Structure formats: C-alpha cells, structure tokens
C-alpha cells in the first residue's frame, strides 16, 4: 500500500513534461498541416488520501473503487509565457548560489528555512539583510551561528589567477607568382649551318607585397578559478573597464584591452560589499605560456588567496589549466 503513494511535485512535473512534448510536436505538425489544435486549459480531479512522511513531505494515495472518506484533489493547468516566468520566479543568480544542504545545514533546519521562502544561501543572505539575522534565526528556530557559518561557507573563494599571453596576429601568406618557362625555339634544319642560340628570358621581377595595414591586436586574457562565483557586476584593470568573456560558478575569463598597462591591479566586484583585487603583470616572456599571479587582496574586507608554485612573485606556468602553453 505504501508504494501507491505519490509525491505531488513529482506528479505535476511528469504531467508538465508530457504537455511540453505535445507542444513541441505542434512545430512538426505545422510543416504539413496549416490548421491543428492546441491545449488551452487542462484540469484533473483526483480522489486521494493524504499522508505526511517522516521527512515532512505530503504524499497522496489514489482512492480505490468504492473506498469512502477520500478527499478531492483538483489540479488546473494553464499556459505561461517566458516574461511571466521571469517575473514570477527567482533570478538565475539566486539559483546559482549553493543550496542550504550543501552548506551543512540539517534537513530539519532546511525545511524550516524553506517555510520562510529560503532555499539557497543567496536568498538567506538577502533575507538577513532585509529582516536582520536575529529575526531570521528566531522565526526559523535555527541558531544564528549556524546561519552565519552557512553564509561563510558559501562565500566566493578565489584559488587561482592566471594570465595568458596574447596571440600575435599572423600576416597573410602571399603565394609568389609562377615563373613562366622560357619558350622553346626549334633549330632550323640548315645543312652545315649552326643553329641560332635561343635568347635567354629576363628573370621575373620580384612580386611587390603591400605592407600589412592596421592589424587588430587581440586582448590579453586573465582566468580566475575558484568556487561559488555569483554573477560579476563589474571588472576593471586599473582605471579601464574589462570585458567578461566567460563566467561560470567556478571560472571567470576576463579580456584586458591590449593598450592597457603591462602591470596593474585587477578588480572584480561580485557585489558592492564583495570586491576582489589582484596584482596582475603581463611583462613575462610570452613563450613561457600562461603564468599565475601570487598577490591577491580585497578592496573591502579581508581575503587570502592560496597559490602554488610561486617563484619570485610569479608562479610557474600551468599548461593544464589553459589547455596547453603558447607555441
């Protein structure tokens, strides 16, 4: 009997997946059928018995035939567009942050925080800033030290900053023109007369190659590795803004303008309160491949970066991190 119980969340997701398949099939039908039918509203009525398991999850069991005392579960489905989804759901930045379970909170503590609308550490930090740490601790019945420890564990950690050499642009190859062969002159058959000597063709003139114009110099890259990276709000190298070429929760790739100074301070801001700064230098030999910086500090707060293979302030190249050194 226990196996006949189902979780409401799993049940609804299964129906939504099948409805998505129906919608995707409409695109294929439209190739050959100019008119078809689409689903507007969908409703289901169930007679079920409710149950609450030890984990605090509500489950339902369908009522058998002629079984009395069941409750009626009515589910209605309607369509929703992408703007409506973005307006009524949490932001992608909030979903990228670690979950409460990952940060070591107990299942019972997680359930109480979920009752306050908190599922990730980013949502926990936002609620504490708005309501205060003591208020959240009191309503969730979770010690304040436990909440602070979870936020400390979820803080972005930088463990590697590497500078990659810029790739010099190669000039276009110009194939030399083909040298025409000297014409063959047949010697006239004249008795007792030496054949005339064929004139030598003048050597071809060397091809003129126009000097290359203004070749764009590619930007220099800086890769920052770590854990729990949120969205980067801004990045600067000295007083110059820096483009973010790629960003995940474990790696950030920045593009420093080629005309920027060869050395300076690189700053990345995860928020107004969390700004990281690194001393970066592009003055090493490009043939040595990417190298790792060793000096790191925060513009606000305190931060310690752990680096490896340091040699006189510049770490030795690590080709595995960049997929191979510069050739």
Mean pLDDT confidence for 215-238: 84
Domain count, the chain: 3
3-state class (DSSP) for residue 279: strand
Report the pLDDT value the prediction gives residue 148, as an integer from 0 to 100. 93
Pick the more confident residue, 290 or 21: 21
DSSP string, 291-304: EEE--EEESSS---
Pick the more confident residue, 246 or 40: 246
Q: pTM here?
A: 0.56
- 170 domain residue, yes or no: no
In the predicted model, is pLDDT for residue 295 greater than 60?
no
Mean pLDDT confidence for 200-208: 64
Task: Say which residues have a Cβ less than 8 Å from residue 103's Cβ, sequence separation at least 6.
Answer: 121, 149, 150, 151, 153, 154
Which of 125, 153, 181 is the last residue in one of the domains?
Answer: 153
Looking at the structure, tell me whether residues 285 and 161 fall in a common domain: yes
For residues 99 and 109, the answer to whether their CB atoms sit within 8 Å is no
* Burial grade of 210 (CB within 10 A; 0-12, 13-18, 19 or more): exposed
Task: Say which residues have a Cβ less than 8 Å from residue 203's Cβ, sequence separation at least 6.
Answer: none
Looking at the structure, tell me whether residues 287 and 161 fall in a common domain: yes
- 172 domain residue, yes or no: no
Domain of 303, in residue numbers: 157-165+218-322
- How far, in Å, CA of 215 to CA of 171, rounded? 9
- How far, in Å, CA of 247 to CA of 255, rounded? 12
- How far, in Å, CA of 318 to CA of 327, rounded? 14
**Which stretches of 165-294 are assigned E, i.e. beta strand?**
220-227, 234-237, 240-241, 243-247, 251-256, 263-269, 275-281, 291-293
Looking at the structure, tell me whether residues 161 and 289 fall in a common domain: yes
Looking at the structure, tell me whether residues 129 and 240 fall in a common domain: no
Looking at the structure, tell me whether residues 46 and 113 fall in a common domain: no
Name the DSSP letter for residue 128: H
Looking at the structure, tell me whether residues 21 and 123 fall in a common domain: no
Which of 106, 127, 153 is the last residue in one of the domains?
Answer: 153
Looking at the structure, tell me whether residues 113 and 142 fall in a common domain: yes
- How far, in Å, CA of 63 to CA of 204, rounded? 97
- The CATH number of the domain holding residue 247 is 2.60.40
- 47 domain residue, yes or no: yes
- 187 domain residue, yes or no: no
Looking at the structure, tell me whether residues 313 and 222 fall in a common domain: yes
Looking at the structure, tell me whether residues 161 and 135 fall in a common domain: no
Looking at the structure, tell me whether residues 29 and 65 fall in a common domain: yes
Looking at the structure, tell me whether residues 103 and 139 fall in a common domain: yes
């Amino acid at each position: 009997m226990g196996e006949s119980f189902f979780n409401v969340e799993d049940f609804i997701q299964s129906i939504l997946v099948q409805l998505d398949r129906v919608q995707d099939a409409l695109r294929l039908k439209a190739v050959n059928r100019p008119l078809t039918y689409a689903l507007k509203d969908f409703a289901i009525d169930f007679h079920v018995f409710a149950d609450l398991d030890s984990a605090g999850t509500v489950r339902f069991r369908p009522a058998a035939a002629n079984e009395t005392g069941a409750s009626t579960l009515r589910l209605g489905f309607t369509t929703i567009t992408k703007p409506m989804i973005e307006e009524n759901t949490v932001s992608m930045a909030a979903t990228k942050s670690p979950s409460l379970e990952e940060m070591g909170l107990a299942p019972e503590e997680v359930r109480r925080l979920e009752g306050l609308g908190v599922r990730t550490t980013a949502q926990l930090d936002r609620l504490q800033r708005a309501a205060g740490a003591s208020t959240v601790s009191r309503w969730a019945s979770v010690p304040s030290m436990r909440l602070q420890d979870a936020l400390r564990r979820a803080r972005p950690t930088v463990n590697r900053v590497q500078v990659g050499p810029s790739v010099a642009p190669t000039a276009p190859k110009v194939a030399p023109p083909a040298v025409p062969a000297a014409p063959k002159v047949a010697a006239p058959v004249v008795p007792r007369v030496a054949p005339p000597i064929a004139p030598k063709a003048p050597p071809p003139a060397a091809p003129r190659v126009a000097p290359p114009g203004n070749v764009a110099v590619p930007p220099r890259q800086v890769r920052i590795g770590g854990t729990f990276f949120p969205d980067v709000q801004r990045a600067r190298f000295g007083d110059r803004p820096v483009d973010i070429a790629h960003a995940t929760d474990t790696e950030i790739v920045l593009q420093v303008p080629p005309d920027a100074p060869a050395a300076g301070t690189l700053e990345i801001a995860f928020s107004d309160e969390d700004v990281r700064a690194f001393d970066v230098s592009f003055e090493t030999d490009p043939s040595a491949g990417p190298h790792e910086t060793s000096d790191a500090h925060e513009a606000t707060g305190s931060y310690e970066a752990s680096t490896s293979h340091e040699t006189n302030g510049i770490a030795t190249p690590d080709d595995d991190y960049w997929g191979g050194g510069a050739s």
